[in-house]
A and B are shown apart, each in its own frame.
Chain A
Amino acid sequence: MTSIRQNKTLKKVLSRAFWLLLWQLAAGKVGKELILPSPFVVVRALFNLAVTGKFWINTAVTIVRVLTGYCLGVILAVLLAIMTCSSELLDALISPVIRIVRATPVASFIILALLWMGKDNVPILMSTLMVIPVVWENITAQYQATDVNLLEMAQAYKLSKWKKFRYIYVPSAFPGFLAGCMSAMGLAWKSGIAAEVLSQPKIAMGSNLYYSKLYLETPDLFAWTAVVVILSMCIERLIKYLLFRGVRNEDK
């Protein structure tokens, strides 16, 4: 087991080293920091950013915005899923709207939202809008796949609507909820940052990305991007850990 784990770790390290080396070689070949800075230059830029208070404030505000949008999206998706699963009429009303939201480019929503509300709230709304269809669709798909044998058993034993919901539908849809929450996190993060880039709130990682591009500070642009990627991965893992810890506690 240890040797398998060591092998996996070695593969991961080698893979990362390969891409870093390729990046370094490409940067050396281009030879212009403005177009493609080397990994070392980006790390230096990142370090220079990290020692400023502004960096941490911007990062914290963006995290709060994305997580707020994400949580709102998950809550609304669950409520909408319950509504669409419980009534054919509500399903006919709500499902097409959610499908349209899913198919609409996030940029269109951002531009529209900028007309309707303050730019500080646009990233929250975008994260929410991107989360809803993913979580909703995962829940409803699992709900529709509920074991018909269990439903027949519920009919035979005359289980109440509440018991059917609590003990059959909810546990059946729960894996879909988990999967939806996991994949929605990445989307919330990306759409939230994209909304910050376009709406440029005063304090935001996305605004800093935009200004780095505007003032041709390419190493800073790379450094901010690296922070976005690292944070996205960390938050995704944190969500995964929290959700699965919740499931394990439920199982005990």
Chain B
Amino acid sequence: MKISNLWFSYDNKTVFEDFFLETGEGITCLMGASGRGKTTLLKLVGGLLKPDKGTIDNGGKTVSFMFQEDRLLPWLTVRENILLVTDKARETDELLQELEVDGNLKISELSGGMARRVALARCLLYDRDMLLMDEPFKGMDSKLIEKVAQIIIRQNKTALITTHSLEEAKALDAEVVTL
């Protein structure tokens, strides 16, 4: 993926000013203090925001998004939330089992960590070329981080992942870019 000469501002606040970034295939972790534009960069790459100036070339890859907030529909069950974006019922059940989440639970019945795993499952099962994940490990303990990192690695996809922790980047065996 290649980002060239990127300019972007929110409400007169400049976030990116002539920004360049080049990443290879595989997993790249974006690190940096809060407010440096990690989430904004993911949204720009995902097409949810349009740059003021500059180009973002991800090689024509389609993207799947995992937001910083889980953004699950509280009136649906875990399984229904995932099947809203994919028709892979069998894979959904298998992945949920691996992530140790009961697919029949309502979202309101989930703990923070469980909801995060559901958002992760939704992102992975929405079969796209590239994963854009905003703090996917939020609310998870180190054992779970290891497990989830392995699941992400197993996808064998290009991924751009924001994190505040070097440990998480190591678990993902990722290239690290600091903003």
Residues of chain A having any CB pair with chain B under 8 Å: 149-150, 152-153, 155-157, 159, 163, 167-168, 171, 251
A251 to B122, CA, bound (A): 22
Chain B residue, CB-CB nearest to A171: B75
A81 to B67, CA, bound (A): 31
A159 to B71, CA, bound (A): 14
Interface of B is mostly: loop
> Across the interface, do A167 and B73 meet the contact criterion of CB distance under 8 Å?
yes
Q: Contacts A156-B48, A167-B73 given; 19 further ones with Cβ under 8 A?
A: A149-B67, A149-B69, A149-B71, A150-B71, A150-B73, A152-B48, A152-B71, A153-B65, A153-B71, A155-B48, A156-B46, A156-B65, A157-B126, A159-B84, A159-B85, A167-B84, A171-B73, A171-B75, A251-B106
Q: Within 8 Å CB of A149, what residues of B?
A: 67, 69, 71
Is B44 an interface position by the 8 A CB rule?
Answer: no
Chain B interface bracket (under 10, 10 to 19, 20 to 34, 35 or more)? 10 to 19
B60 to chain A, nearest CB (A): 16
Interface string of B53-78 (1 = CB under 8 A from A): 00000000000110101010101100
Can you spell out 9 A-B residue pairs with CB atoms less than 8 angstroms apart? A152-B48, A155-B48, A156-B48, A157-B65, A157-B84, A157-B85, A159-B84, A168-B73, A171-B73
Select the residue from B65, B84, B126 with max chain A CB neighbours within 10 A.
B84
Interface string of B24-64 (1 = CB under 8 A from A): 00000000000000000000001010000000000000001
Q: Within 8 Å CB of B73, what residues of A?
A: 150, 167-168, 171
A149 to B69, CA, bound (A): 8
A227 to B114, CA, bound (A): 54
B110 to chain A, nearest CB (A): 16
Chain A residue, CB-CB nearest to B132: A156
> Across the interface, do B67 and A153 meet the contact criterion of CB distance under 8 Å?
yes
